[in-house]
Amino acid sequence: MLDAFDAGHRELSLTEIAARAALPISTTRRLVVELTRWGGLERLVDDRYRIGIRLWRIGVLAPQQRDLVAAARPLMQDLCSATRETVQVMVLDGQEALCIEKLSAESANPTATEVGERLPLYATAVGKCLLAFSPRDLLVQILDRGITRHTQYTVTQPGQLVRQLKEVRANGIAWSREEMTLGAVSVAAPIISGGVLRGAIGIVVRAPGQLDALAPAVRTASLSISRAVM
């Protein structure tokens, strides 16, 4: 039922929750009442619901995410201070990239992504990093499900995406040029510790941006984080 909420559905009515969760309305009502009482959901004044703060407090206790954020934050702060842009760390969550930390300078290009939100793997630089270093079965699943065109620049041809992922594996750097959001470009690098993919760190800037100049700094940060979480 909690999966009914996502970045595009932050607030839902009881009927909408039941429909998106494919549950009877009576079952949904009972679960919603219990979750609201516990703090997993928050009831709004218009009788709609959103995710409650208690779920977030529990989620941040996950050892892998907590350790990764602790290792990444100093490097993220350095990147944010040096570039005056938005720096994000993402981890793989099913077939999406989950944002576990984000830092933005006041002058940075506004981004829609917040901590706890998810992005598609195929249309973002951080997502391509995660996808490139994951088992090929994940790519097959995404292609079978179908690629959504978010902008006119979104890569929707499987062959082109495969070539991009091959370059990411070879160079350790991924790019996204207005593929997710018009006016925003990004560069990212994977965080791999002990041969295990832990996440990805990326910088989002206004298009066209100086991605070539930012790539070495992002790659250096990812390597430093990788060593810190070993």
Residue 95: per-residue pLDDT: 86
pLDDT-derived band at 202 (thresholds 50, 70, 90) equals very high
DSSP, collapsed to helix, strand or coil, labels residue 136 as helix
> With bands split at pLDDT 50, 70 and 90, how would you rate the model's confidence at 208?
confident
pTM (2 d.p.)? 0.73
At 105 the pLDDT is 78
Q: How confident is the model at residue 163 (pLDDT cuts 50, 70, 90)?
A: very high
pLDDT at 170 over 80: yes
Angle at the Cα of 167 (from 227 to 174), degrees rounded to 5? Answer: 60
Interval 148-174 mean pLDDT? 93
Q: What's the rounded mean pLDDT across residues 126-131?
A: 95
pLDDT of the residue at 158:
92
